[in-house]
Amino acid sequence: MPARHRFLFLGLAILWLALRIPFFGARFSFNWDSSQYARGMTEFNVFKHQPHPPGYLLWVLSARILEPLAGGAMRAQIIVAFVMTLLALAIFYFLALRILDSQVSALTCTALLAYAPGVALNSSISSPSITDLVSSLVAGYLAFLDPHRRQWRIVACLAALGLLAGFHQSNLALLAPLVAVAAISHWRHAWRPVCTGAILGTLAFLAWYVPLANSVGGSSVLSHLTSIQFHDAASKSSVFYGAPLRNHLSMTLNNVIYSGMNLAPWLVAFGLPFVWQRKTVPGWWRYALWMIPTLIMLLGIHSGRVGYWLIAFPPLLLLCAIGGRVRMPATIAAVLLSLAISYFPYGRLQFSKIAPVSYVFYRSAPRMALDLEASQRNLDQTLHQLLQSGVPQPFVCARDIPEAPNIRTVTYDFAYVNWILPEAAPASRSIWLFDQHGPDAEIRKHYQTWRQIVADDLWSLWQATSPQPPVPSP
């Protein structure tokens, strides 16, 4: 590999690491789920959604172990996510080297994966979604490895998959077809490693699943709780589970954005919009098994955020590399495009007509995590000032979207305030937390006077006042 290429990839690696540093200072929840994992670190209780089903036991346990060192629940989770990302990138490099048979191509793909907005975001927030990327790559590595050489890798992959399922259980179901077919294909040449790996993988699975199931009263209870959680999510997004067609179309549009904002730089890097080299894709069935279950889930059932796509990103990127060709100027352009998508100031668009669409980009890029942390710190300072001024409690949280602040995050991050939902709001003076747009017309009817206290691009605080009832004359 030419020296200029080595310096380029070294520079990209240093820049990527430097861009991660600001995220380690996070003190507040990124979204609804983040606060639930943090609650689980203090009191693990799936019934209380600490965390929500199916449990994510190893994610919570790993973060709990690191919390004293990290200095906070969110920072501990971000450290786990960062370590998982480094592991994923290392596996992806060796997988790409095996498939593309070129160190330059493998390093190019690894850099493009690292800088992808969805990967950059999930490497730096308190969410176990990044473990889907690790599991996907372990399964892909298992499918493409040579069973005649270093057969211990088969054992390691199968054992690792059993363990990784304890961080984020959905990856086990979506990757099961690929893993099963890969194990069967290796059976003829390496049946002993396959058997050993299957046994160790099962033991690794049971090591976390049995305690998790026992914590809720048995595997049947855990399955029931998980089924309720799944159907509740699917019923809001999929027409096949009773959701309105409008919701399903909205999910489809979101998926186009989630995939497009990550795929576009890869197309630029390999010149696919301009030159498509018609090449045979060796082992095409592996790519099909790798992607199809995830695509069925994302397009047909449920896709809540860009993290759901992390299983499908590695095969998509490898297919782009197979279909195109590596050019360093195009690689640099692709990285710059990824950075532009990742750090575009989407917050400035939240009061525009395209706010609903721009917010989908915003919540899927690492810029959101940085802006949200700064916004939460501003909210924390404002809440302390309000309490010092003697305003009455409780405060009402009327902001109802997955990203913080919402009722689940404020009751964790700002537990020094007594928070309630709008339906329990007092009839007289009260403080309300809304999104950046403030109260809608329906809510405004309930109070005579609304006064904005402070606002930013993500939230606003308002004081609502109603006239006191007249005192009856004696």
pLDDT confidence of residue 172: 84
The identity of residue 226, as a single letter, is T
pLDDT confidence of residue 277: 56
Question: How many other C-beta atoms can be found within 10 angstroms of the C-beta atom of residue 29?
Answer: 30
d(CA 409, CA 428): 25
Q: Nearest-CA neighbor of 432 among 441, 416, 421?
A: 421
Q: Taking a C-beta distance cutoff of 8 angstroms, is the pair 430, 414 a contact?
A: no
pLDDT confidence of residue 2: 81
Q: Nearest-CA neighbor of 29 among 402, 418, 318?
A: 402
pLDDT confidence of residue 473: 53
H-type alpha helices, 299-413: 313-323, 328-343, 355-362, 366-388, 407-413
**Beta sheet of 419-420, edge-to-edge order:** 419-420, 395-397, 430-434, 460-465, 449-455
pLDDT confidence of residue 280: 76
Quickly tell me which residue has 């309300």 as its tokens: 432
pLDDT confidence of residue 276: 55
d(CA 209, CA 169): 10
Q: Taking a C-beta distance cutoff of 8 angstroms, is the pair 350, 457 a contact?
A: yes
pLDDT confidence of residue 58: 97
pLDDT confidence of residue 397: 96
Burial of 309 (0-12, 13-18, 19+ CB in 10 A): buried
Contacts of residue 401, Cβ cutoff 8 Å, sequence gap at least 6: 435
Ranges of residues in the chain whose predicted pLDDT is under 50: 468-471
pLDDT confidence of residue 271: 84
